């Protein structure tokens, strides 16, 4: 199985669990793990310029929207995988926006249950 750079960085946050993180991502990323791994593979194919564009799109949002989207993603992902894993996932992403988008994907079913959309992940479309 091919592992993205982000998945490898995530696996390295705890050397004792490294192999387990790579072989059983569902235990660490929750029920939406396939979507997260696909997103991380997608990130590997983006240039630095494309990552910067997506990050700029996030930072161009008004402060209220940025905070609201970040908090929504954080809370939904934390409900799925817990505080410690959520903070680790956010820290291994290539940039801030991709970290928030990853958290959004981890908690996507909870966000969608609330009738809300995956707004940050959409910032990575059409790059």
Q: Does residue 71 lie in a domain region?
A: yes
**pLDDT recorded at residue 15:** 85
Q: Does residue 48 lie in a domain region?
A: yes
Domain that holds residue 90: 5-122
Q: Does residue 43 lie in a domain region?
A: yes
Mean pLDDT of 78-96: 90
Q: How many structural domains does the chain have?
A: 1
Mean pLDDT of 39-60: 97
**pLDDT recorded at residue 14:** 84
Q: Does residue 127 lie in a domain region?
A: no
* pLDDT per position as a tens digit, 21-37: 999 999 999 999 999 99
Q: Does residue 107 lie in a domain region?
A: yes
% of the chain with per-residue pLDDT over 90: 85
As given in the structure block, the two tokens for residue 15 are 């050397």
User: What distance in Å separates the CA atoms of residue 77 and residue 105, rounded to the nearest whole number?
Assistant: 8
Report CA-CA distances (Å) from 73 to 49, 94, 95: 24, 17, 15
Name the H helices within the chain: 5-11, 18-23, 26-29, 33-44, 48-60, 63-81, 83-92, 96-106, 108-113, 119-122
Lowest-pLDDT choice from 16-20, 68-72, 105-109: 16-20
Model confidence band, residue 84 (pLDDT cutoffs 50, 70, 90): confident
Average pLDDT, the chain: 94
**pLDDT recorded at residue 1:** 67
């Amino acid at each position: 199985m091919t592992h993205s750079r982000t998945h490898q960085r995530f696996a390295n946050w705890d050397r004792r669990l490294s192999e387990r993180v790579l072989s059983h991502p569902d235990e660490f990323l929750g029920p939406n793990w396939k979507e997260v791994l696909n997103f991380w593979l997608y990130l590997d194919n983006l240039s630095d310029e494309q990552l910067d564009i997506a990050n700029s799109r996030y930072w161009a949002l008004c402060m209220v929207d940025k905070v609201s989207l970040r908090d929504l993603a954080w809370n939904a992902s934390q409900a799925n995988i817990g505080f410690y894993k959520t903070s680790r996932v956010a820290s291994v992403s290539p940039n801030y926006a991709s970290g928030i988008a990853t958290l959004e994907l981890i908690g996507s079913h909870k966000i969608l249950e609330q009738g809300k959309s995956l707004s940050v992940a959409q910032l990575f479309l059409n790059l």
